[in-house]
A = this chain, B = another copy of it.
Amino acid sequence: MMLQLPRPYLLFLGATTNPVLAKTALGLKDWAGPDCVAQWCLPGGTVNTGLPEMRPAEAHAAGARSIVIGVAPVGGKLQPDWVEPLVEALEAGLDIVSGMHDRLESSLRIAETAARLGRRLINVRTPAPPAANGTGDKRTGKRLLTVGTDCALGKKYTALVLTRAFRARGVPADFRATGQTGIMIAGEGVPLDSVVADFLSGYAEALSPDAAPDHWDVIEGQGSLFHPAYAAVTLGLVHGSQPDVMVLCHEPGRMHIDGVEGYPIPSLSEAITDYVRAARLTNKAARVAGISLNTSALDEAGARAVLAVATAETGLPAADPIRGLGLEALVDACLAG
Check B76 against A233 for contact (C-beta < 8 Å): no
Check A228 against B200 for contact (C-beta < 8 Å): no
Check A281 against B232 for contact (C-beta < 8 Å): no
A interface residues, tally (CB under 8 Å): 40
Query: Interface readout for A258-291 with B: 1 if CB under 8 Å, 0 if not?
Result: 0011110000000000100100011000000000
Bound-complex Cα distance A132 to B77 (A): 10
Check A136 against B228 for contact (C-beta < 8 Å): yes
Given A194-B196, A195-B196, A197-B200: A74 and B229 interface contact (C-beta under 8 Å): no
Residues 215-256 of A at the B interface (beta carbon under 8 Å): 226, 228-233, 235-236, 239-240
Check B230 against A136 for contact (C-beta < 8 Å): no
Bound-complex Cα distance A133 to B195 (A): 15
Bound-complex Cα distance A232 to B230 (A): 10
Check B135 against A229 for contact (C-beta < 8 Å): yes
Give chain B residues whose Cβ lies under 8 Å from the Cβ of A200: 197, 232-233
Residue from A131, A229, A277 whose CB has the most chain B CB atoms within 10 Å:
A229
Is A55's CB within 8 Å of the partner chain B?
no
Check B196 against A134 for contact (C-beta < 8 Å): no
State the Cβ distance, A72 to closest chain B Cβ, in Å.
11
Is A317's CB within 8 Å of the partner chain B?
no
Is A295's CB within 8 Å of the partner chain B?
no
State the Cβ distance, A240 to closest chain B Cβ, in Å.
8
Give chain B residues whose Cβ lies under 8 Å from the Cβ of A194: 196-198
Bound-complex Cα distance A74 to B135 (A): 11
Give chain B residues whose Cβ lies under 8 Å from the Cβ of A101: 131, 196, 198
Give chain B residues whose Cβ lies under 8 Å from the Cβ of A136: 228-229, 260-263
Is A44's CB within 8 Å of the partner chain B?
no
Residues of A with Cβ closer than 8 Å to B?
74-76, 101, 131-137, 192-198, 200-202, 226, 228-233, 235-236, 239-240, 260-263, 274, 277, 281-282
**What are 8 A-B interface contacts by the 8 Å CB criterion?**
A75-B133, A134-B230, A135-B228, A135-B260, A137-B261, A194-B196, A196-B197, A197-B232
